[in-house]
Chain A
Amino acid sequence: DSGVTQTPKHLITATGQRVTLRCSPRSGDLSVYWYQQSLDQGLQFLIQYYNGEERAKGNILERFSAQQFPDLHSELNLSSLELGDSALYFCASSGGSDSRNTIYFGEGSWLTVV
């Protein structure tokens, strides 16, 4: 168990809909990262937050948005969903007192768009 919690684990929704994925980082971690992984693909970096502020942005679509709240949990909002958005979405965290650079992944949220 990495200590990073993601919900929901599985989600099936229709095209055009909107979903919210939730992530609780490891205790003490200030950075949260979101990654998208399609079938047999690598880890596509979407966005990073540090202590509530956006720190880095990757290949995140305009239909997607994220935020990190004062309690450090984060949400990734995906709207106007398309079939191609079906993927495994990982949240990861880092920045704890043990090792600031080490990044720990959650179990992921499987999104299927039908």
Chain B
Amino acid sequence: GENVEQHPSTLSVQEGDSAVIKCTYSDSASNYFPWYKQELGKRPQLIIDIRSNVGEKKDQRIAVTLNKTAKHFSLHITETQPEDSAVYFCAASIEYSSASKIIFGSGTRLSIRP
């Protein structure tokens, strides 16, 4: 079945620097890749997603890139701010005709140093 690996498990960056989180997936049929941010004790929230028909998507300081050939995708956060500190989860989804199935990575705890 589908497997999603996420690296690194923890990441500490200086405020204002960039952060990059990488994920790989195993099933080439995956066609939807969302990223979620989870603050302590709260629900994961969708921050950006990308579908397999595009290679890159940006939303202000956040961008996601997808390499279908290598089966990996990455989250890039530029000009990091203290409020970016959270756990980030990548996911890969295989859409069937009647239901979608989603597999999450193990998460990356991002800490922003002041």
Contacts and interface: CB of A to CB of B under 8 A. Distances in A.
Interface residues of B, number: 25
Contacts of A36: none
B101 A55 contact: yes
Interface residues of A, number: 25
Contacts, number: 60
A56 B101 contact: yes
B99 A55 contact: yes
Nearest to B102: A103
Contact of B102 (A2, A42, A101): A101
B99 A105 contact: no
B8 to A, nearest CB: 14
B43 A102 contact: no
Please indicate which of the listed interface residues B32, B98, B103 has the most CB atoms of chain A within 10 Å of its own CB: B98
B43 A31 contact: no
A31 B103 CA distance: 14
Interface of B: 31-32, 34, 36, 41-46, 49, 89, 91, 93, 95, 98-107
29 contacts: A2-B43, A30-B99, A31-B99, A33-B102, A42-B89, A42-B104, A42-B106, A42-B107, A43-B104, A48-B101, A50-B99, A51-B98, A55-B101, A56-B101, A94-B100, A94-B102, A101-B31, A101-B34, A101-B102, A102-B46, A103-B46, A103-B93, A103-B100, A105-B44, A105-B45, A106-B43, A107-B42, A107-B43, A108-B43
